[in-house]
Amino acid sequence: MEENQVFAMPRIGDKAPEFKAVTTQGDINFPADYSGSWVILFSHPADFTPVCTSEFMTFASLEEKFNEANCKLVGLSVDGLYSHIAWLRTIKEKIEYKGMKDVEVTFPLIEDITMNVAKKYGMMMPGESSTKAVRAVFVIDPVGVIRTIIYYPLSLGRNFDELYRVVLALKTADEFKIATPADWRPGDDVIVPPAGSCGVAKDRMEGKEEMKCYDWFFCTKKISEETVLSTILKK
Ligand code: BEZ
């Protein structure tokens, strides 16, 4: 790769840019190795820093829950492999934080000293830092398409419950062909697609379909938490 190669920032709906990398769990070929799974590719600014440590402990503690939703985790920073290994060992052996201790990070953490991957994914934001990646999150679906992108600055630790909610909401939208309203959680009403004709819109407004309409363009229906979770979790 040319050193000053300029990349377009990946966008929602794009195929996830491909790369091969060295990680704490061996080499990976991304996103091909994750075909059939959802994957969250996320960057952190630097090893041996406090916000990142709190994030890694939190994410590692939730890894099983994400895996049960068929979602794998892959971290990245522009540090080297030996720094990653030493930092993860320190976390396991020394850090007790908010009831979490002996936390083993078993998901891969990419070394990216060349910033090759960080640049490809638009994780370097020179206005924030020219030497550290920002806190980027890419949620990628089982066919390798980017479905959500979230960025946080260096000083702000992420909300990992929100990332779990994002994965469940994307899967629910795909499976049930609906959209999810503000603050949606499994069991809350979902938004049905717009009526295809005036007749259908009228029927909906007159309560002829099993849905609640706030106006002709805004109708919701119930899907129970059990139906949502039993349908989407392993997909
Ligand atoms: C942190 O993780 O604590 C951190 C990393 C880089 C800059 C500022 C804070």
Can you list the residues of the chain whose pLDDT is less than 50? none
pLDDT given at position 7: 81
pLDDT of residue 132: 98
Which tokens is 228 given?
């949502």
> What CA–CA distance (Å, rounded) separates 124 from 46?
12
Residue closest to 200 by CA, chosen among 189, 211, 188: 211
d(CA 20, CA 177): 34
Per-residue confidence (pLDDT) for residue 2, from 0 to 100: 53
Give the 3-state secondary structure of residue 205: helix
Contacts of 218 (CB under 8 A, 6+ apart): 191
* DSSP SS3 for 27: strand
pLDDT computed for residue 231 by the predictor: 95
Q: Is 66 within 8 Å of 167 (Cβ atoms)? A: yes
Catalytic residue among 52, 71, 213, 219: 52
Closest residue by Cα to atom 1, ligand 1, is 51
The Cα–Cα gap between 183 and 165 comes to 9
For residue 185, how far is the Cα from the chain centroid? 16
**Ligand 1 pocket mutation, candidates 57, 123, 154, 158, criterion most atoms within 8 A of CB:** 154
pLDDT tens digits, one per residue of 88-103 = 999 999 999 999 999 9
- The reported pTM is 0.95
What counts of helices (H) and strands (E) characterise the chain? 6, 10
- From residue 176, give the alpha-carbon distance in Å to each of 130, 171, 180, 191, 225: 43, 9, 11, 10, 13
Q: Which H helix or E strand runs over 149?
A: strand 146-152
Q: Is residue 28 lining ligand 1, measured as CB closer than 6 Å?
A: no
Residue 12 Cα to ligand 1 midpoint, Å, equals: 27
Q: Please indicate whether residue 198 is annotated as part of the active site.
A: no
- Please report the pLDDT score of residue 122 as a whole number: 97
Amino acid at position 46, single letter: A
- Outline where 114-212 has alpha helix (H): 116-120, 160-176, 198-205
Query: Are 190 and 179 in contact, with CB atoms under 8 Å apart?
Result: yes
pLDDT score at 62: 98
What is the reported pLDDT for 4?
63
Pick from 165, 148, 182, 145: nearest CA to 229 = 165
